[in-house]
Amino acid sequence: MGRSALIPKRLANTLLFAAGVAGVAGAAAQTPRIYSVTVPMEIEYDSNPNMAIGNAPSTTWLRVRPSVTATQVQGNEEYSLEGALSAEKSSNSDIAKDRLDPRLRGQWKHADGVNTSQLALLLERQALRALDIREHVPVGVDGSRTLFAISGAWTRDLSDRMSVSGDLRQDWERYSVNSISDARHTSGALRLTRLENERRSWYGSVNAQLYRTDSRQDPVLGTVGGDRSNVAGAVVGVNQLLTEGLRVDASVGWMHFDQPITDNDWQGA
């Protein structure tokens, strides 16, 4: 059952304490190195962490999330590496066990007068209850998802008012519980943008997504997973600055699904 299947009353009060230390050191004027260290601490009370119906047990979490980031700039190149660890202590280990979840992210960026390119690698582990509600994780399961992702993005200025950009991302997801199948997700988009004036721009975009789950044998359910889903589409849109603090982005377009069923539909945002 996904989280979206229930609409529980969930109360959470959070006290957030953060302390950070940042330092800058340069080996040379052309190759500065930037280091930053943050150690946020958080206390959270949740009256219904498992989104149960009826009388539900509560828990209080104490979290410490140290993070270290190192960045080096060398001419048009920028390299960054982030390492973080989330340490979590629960007052009710029957509901949520104590956790240590790592995160490691590296990025390379190149920027000149015409092109901007980025490549990033990500490895992280999270509790299932900490994931976005749209990911349809099971209710009441205290498990983990490990994500490995590689992504790239590119932008080129064709003129003073025209630019083209593209991005591509590949995700591999691994779950610690047998009720969720491991999955692979590929997404990409290509976008052409025209600047009309300082407040308005128009764009057209084509995009595609592919989703696959690994199949496995369950002693009770038999073959589980093996799902496939493909979707591709195109949109046109406008980005309008209304005031200094308010911007509107509206788009509409067409979508084509070819798995698990073949269908055409419209999309808008």
Q: pLDDT per residue over 162-208, tens digit each?
A: 999 999 999 999 998 877 889 999 999 999 999 999 999 999 999 99
The predicted structure's pLDDT at residue 97: 85
How do residues 116-172 score in pLDDT, each as one tens digit?
999 999 999 998 877 765 565 666 677 899 999 999 999 999 999 999 999 999 999
The predicted structure's pLDDT at residue 27: 39
The predicted structure's pLDDT at residue 19: 37
- The strand pair at 162-175 and 222-224 is best described as unpaired
Confidence of residue 9 (pLDDT cuts 50, 70, 90): very low
Residue 71 CB partners (closer than 8 Å, separation 6+): 33, 34, 35, 78, 79, 80, 81
For 126, 131, 175, 196, 219, the CA distances from 148, given in Å and listed in that order, are 12, 15, 12, 39, 28
The amino acid at 67: S
Distance CA 129, CA 147 (A): 15
Would you say 170 and 184 are in contact if contact means Cβ atoms under 8 Å apart? yes
DSSP string, 59-97: EEEEEE--EEEEEEEETTEEEEEEEEEEEEEES-TTTS-
Q: Domains (ranges, CATH) in the chain?
A: 72-268 (2.40.160)
Would you say 39 and 66 are in contact if contact means Cβ atoms under 8 Å apart? yes
**pLDDT above 60 for 221:** yes
Q: Tell which residue, 85, 3, 219, 255, has the closest CA to residue 268.
A: 255
Q: What is the DSSP letter of 215?
A: -
Residue 19 CB partners (closer than 8 Å, separation 6+): 38, 39, 40, 41
Say how many Å lie between the first and final Cα of the chain, rounded. Answer: 27
For the entire predicted model, the pTM comes to 0.77
